[in-house]
Amino acid sequence: MTDQPTISDYGLIGDMQSAALVGRHGGIDWCCLPRFDSGSVFAALLDPQRGGTWLIQPAEPYAAVQRYLTGTNILETTFRTATAEAVLTDFMPVTAEGRPAGNHREIHRRVHGLRGEMPMRVRFMPRFEYGARSTRLEAIGEGLFASDRTEQVLTLASARPFEWRIEQGAAETGFTLPAGDTRWLVLRHDDDDVHPVDRYESQRKLEETTAFWLRWSSKVRYAGPWRDAVERSALTLKLLTDCETGAVIAAPTTSLPETLGGIRNWDYRFVWLRDAVFTLTALQSVGHGAEADAFMRFLRRVCRNEGGGHLQIMYTVNGRRDLEERQLEHLSGYRGSRPVRVGNGAVDQLQLDVYGEVLAAADAWRREHPMSEGVWRTLRPLVDWVSHHWDRPDSSIWEVRGETRHYVFSKVMNWVALDRGIRIATDLSLPADLPAWTAARDAVRAEILERGWNPARGAFIQAYDHPDTLDAAALTIPMMGFLPWDDPRVISTVRAIQRDLTTPDGELVFRYLTPDGLDGEEGAFSICTFWLAEALCRIGDRPQAERIFHRMLGYANHLGLYSEEIDPLSGEFLGNFPQAFTHIGLIQCAVALG
């Protein structure tokens, strides 16, 4: 393994079209430009030697403390040495309307001396297209010009031009920062010129960006005891939305492993309809409904392009269907975890549950918005499709890369799709095949109660043909209204999962504990743990719910961010980061407890 920062050492900045991870060591070690799913320009997170980085840090031993400016996604890293102190401020500028500032993606970095004189070092090592292309780097005018000898261009401007030492596609410099002194460095994508740094108006953009995030976070409607955690989760989810298309990505990274050294390394920089809908539901629960409007527009475009009732489970941020999975053999992977993958082969899976999530979100959305004929033309074919195909096996929520099965979670979500479709059509007197939909809804419900419930186990199971296998996804059955929380079968299922799918202390939850067609193991699943805490609260066991919730709050990194999974032994983050699913679970659980 290489000596490198861990997943939890990073914070996220972004402009709602692209994003970057900034470590406590002052390095931007992951950034894809100009979009979330573009090729990376910095990827030291996946290979410290080949991936590329942009480092600003003291040139002598130091300690670092990192925080977000309150109510914003602007990141501060404070460095302290034996004799000096300085603060590094990182952000990607957005306008007052919440869009990237200008036609180019930009990253602004300000280093300001607070005490003493601090020797600083800067290393700029861009590596285009996941480090697969060679980098041409030269000092020009006010800074640096980098290209991959094709169409990719980066420029780096700095106040008080530095003496750059350039070797093998990396530029380094150093300077002394006295107390009270400020240096700006500005990276811009797709600009052939390096301008004087004051032309980028960094201070004005910092103020405008700060004002936008403060205005947005001030509208988070949550007054419970965990305001800070809820607000940070909401701000993180907002960063994962695309301001132009309305799409919501699952995470801004690829191939962060579910087990160190393992092969369960996937690309999450895409729009899972399920994850996006859960994200919007969480944001709506704390007062932010505009994101749901934008996503409904995205969904309509996707459905028009599909030309029928069948949906893929995921799309690119601009609604494209092509997500071909490939392996990047030249990258060593996070701490030796290979392969590194881009694209996602799960796109070809049938996951029937996505229809339920989409229709449930539409039902919630229409309660505050008029349901136009155009929107209903988008949704009605989805309900029709489910009414004819609900009895098919699928790969379900966890995207098992093995044989398809009749997963109980998928069947429940089929019921949700039909139930919400019937409800919308009935309430609004919209055209619909109500007899067929009602017959299908009743049939799927009867089948779930007959084949999905194991009375000997006292629980709803994972799949019809595996009667002894539990799945944490069953915790969502009452959340989706299939059965009430006080139903004895719900209470028994919650207790069975608490007993049989948790770590020995009963506080971290695994998705399932059965073979799934892939080698290797995985960590405890964070959203499932939040689900268990919420479920315990809903069935009346508030003390245990709060104990698990507080335990999960303790697993957050220094900025309140979470990855997909947690190593139950070390507490180390596993999986892509930050993960929308986890922050969704936190918000929903906090609302329930509040």
Are 456 and 570 in a shared domain?
yes
Are 424 and 370 in a shared domain?
yes
- Is there a domain that residue 374 lies in? yes
Question: For the segment 524-578, what is each residue's pLDDT rounded down to a tens digit?
Answer: 999 999 999 999 999 999 999 999 999 999 999 999 999 999 999 999 999 999 9
* Containing structural domain, residue 487: 219-593
β-partners of residue 57 are 121
Please give the Cα distance from 371 to 577 (Å, whole number). Answer: 35
Are 206 and 231 in a shared domain?
no
Are 241 and 164 in a shared domain?
no
- Is there a domain that residue 536 lies in? yes
Are 103 and 160 in a shared domain?
yes
Q: What is the pLDDT of residue 400?
A: 83
Q: Which two tokens stand for residue 328?
A: 């990047």
Contact 584, 527 (CB under 8 A): yes
What's 505's domain CATH number? 1.50.10.10
Are 205 and 234 in a shared domain?
no
Q: Which helix (H) or strand (E) holds 291?
A: helix 290-306
- β pairing state of 40-42 and 53-58: unpaired
Collapse the DSSP code of 337 into the 3-class scheme (helix H, G, I; strand E, B; otherwise coil) and give the result.
Answer: coil
β-partners of residue 12 are 21
Please give the Cα distance from 314 to 301 (Å, whole number). Answer: 13
Per-residue pLDDT of the chain (594 residues; tens, 9 = 90+): 336 899 999 999 999 999 999 999 999 999 999 999 999 999 999 999 999 999 999 999 999 999 999 999 999 999 999 999 999 999 999 999 999 988 889 999 999 999 999 999 999 999 999 999 989 999 987 899 999 877 789 999 987 778 899 999 999 999 999 999 999 999 999 888 888 888 999 999 999 999 999 999 999 999 899 999 999 999 999 999 999 999 999 999 999 999 999 899 999 999 999 998 899 889 999 999 888 888 888 888 888 877 667 888 999 999 988 899 999 999 999 999 999 999 999 999 999 999 999 999 899 889 888 888 888 998 999 999 999 999 999 999 998 877 899 999 999 999 999 999 999 999 999 999 999 999 999 999 999 999 999 999 999 999 998 889 999 999 999 999 999 999 999 999 999 999 999 999 888 999 999 877 677 778 999 999 999 999 999 999 999 999 999 999 999 999 999 999 999 999 999 999 999 999 999 999 999 998
Are 372 and 233 in a shared domain?
yes
Which of 155, 184, 214 marks a domain boundary? 214
Which of 195, 214, 233 marks a domain boundary? 214
Q: What is the pLDDT of residue 307?
A: 67
Total number of domains constituting the chain: 2
Are 200 and 244 in a shared domain?
no
Count of alpha carbons within 13 Å of 546, Cβ hemisphere only? 8
Please give the Cα distance from 351 to 313 (Å, whole number). Answer: 6
The letter for the amino acid at 70 is T
Are 473 and 489 in a shared domain?
yes
Are 166 and 243 in a shared domain?
no
Are 174 and 254 in a shared domain?
no
Q: What is the pLDDT of residue 297?
A: 86
Contact 494, 535 (CB under 8 A): yes
The letter for the amino acid at 537 is C
Question: For the segment 325-342, what is each residue's pLDDT rounded down to a tens digit?
Answer: 999 999 999 999 999 999
Any idea which residue has 């994508």 for tokens?
A: 189
Which of 147, 182, 214 marks a domain boundary? 214
Backbone angles phi, psi at 435, to 5 degrees: -60, -45
Q: What is the pLDDT of residue 2?
A: 38
Please give the Cα distance from 194 to 389 (Å, whole number). Answer: 57
- Is there a domain that residue 2 lies in? no
Question: For the segment 154-194, what is each residue's pLDDT rounded down to a tens digit?
Answer: 999 987 778 899 999 999 999 999 999 999 999 999 888 88
Question: For the segment 343-365, what is each residue's pLDDT rounded down to a tens digit?
Answer: 999 999 999 999 999 999 899 88
Any idea which residue has 């209204």 for tokens?
A: 481
Are 549 and 414 in a shared domain?
yes
